[in-house]
Amino acid sequence: MNSGHKYVQLLEERAVPLTDFQPIGSALVMAPHPDDESLGCGGTIALLRERGYAVHVLFVSDGTMSHPNSNAYPASRLRDLREREAREALRQLHIDADACTFLRYPDRRVPAGRDSGFPEAVARVATLLDKVKPNTVFMPWQRDPHPDHRACWQIGQAAVQQSHAKPRILEYLIWLWELGTPDDLPTPDERKVWQVAIESVMNQRNQAITAHQSQVTRLIDDDPTAFYLSPELLRHFDPPRELFLEATGL
């Protein structure tokens, strides 16, 4: 059993079923890159939309470091492609066409706490929170092992504090299974683990993931250094459930 499977098992042993969607209500989903929304909480998004709750998705980075050396898809063209893919993924999840925002921060350079661009990023997200007024914000887990994911968490937390909205915060997991260390795991006194059953919307969720063709296929084939969500990586998202973390004591 590799470490990723051990982490899944440890969290699933602590998980409590989340079956009542009313306390979640309307939602803002913070995605560090286009595809994180579908991988991390696509099934839950589909279930929320099925129940009539509004969902707005905020894409924080432009995702252009997935193929940094492609001549066919320089950064501006790749950004446009990834945004089209994101919109198609949201269509699969039944999210309204205008219910998304692209901040377009450079991939791998999303501003974190001490960066000069951090206050501006926080202000932009706080403004969106005040506009959307979600009951719940979904954001990456605080220690998800990717710098953009951790920066996204920092921005989200600071924006919630700065905004007039005081939503519930649920954190989702992307890279813990593949890249995590024991120190990245949430401790029982730090986070409660929720589990959402997504069997009924698995096909819809999978179609949303597939919409990100530049990430799950060799659509862009002229960059040997390209990032690719291989079938092996995607197996982490095969179980018909999604896990969320929530600060304890709430």
Q: What is the pLDDT of residues 82-141, one digit of tens each?
A: 999 999 999 999 999 999 999 999 999 999 999 999 999 999 999 999 999 999 999 999
Q: Report the DSSP beta bridge partners of residue 41.
A: none
In this predicted structure, the answer to whether residue 1 has a pLDDT above a threshold of 50 is no
* DSSP string computed for 203-233: HHHHHHHHT-HHHHS-SS-S-TT-----HHH
**Residue 48 scores a pLDDT above 90:** yes
**Cα distance between residue 42 and residue 29, in whole Å:** 10
Residues 6+ apart with CB under 8 A from 211: 38, 85, 86, 88, 89, 91, 92
CB 21 within 8 A of CB 53: yes
Q: What is the DSSP letter of 106?
A: P
Q: Is the pTM of this model over 0.85?
A: yes
Of the pLDDT bands very low, low, confident and very high (cuts 50, 70, 90), residue 33 is very high
User: First and final CA of the chain: distance in angstroms?
Assistant: 34
Distance, in Å, from the CA atom of 3 to the CA atom of 248, rounded to the nearest integer, reads 25
Distance CA 155, CA 92 (A): 27
Q: How confident is the model at residue 13 (pLDDT cuts 50, 70, 90)?
A: very high
Architecture of the domain made up of 3-247: 3-Layer(aba) Sandwich (3.40)
Contact 171, 141 (CB under 8 A): yes
Measured on CA atoms in the order 245, 125, 78, 107, is the torsion positive or negative? negative
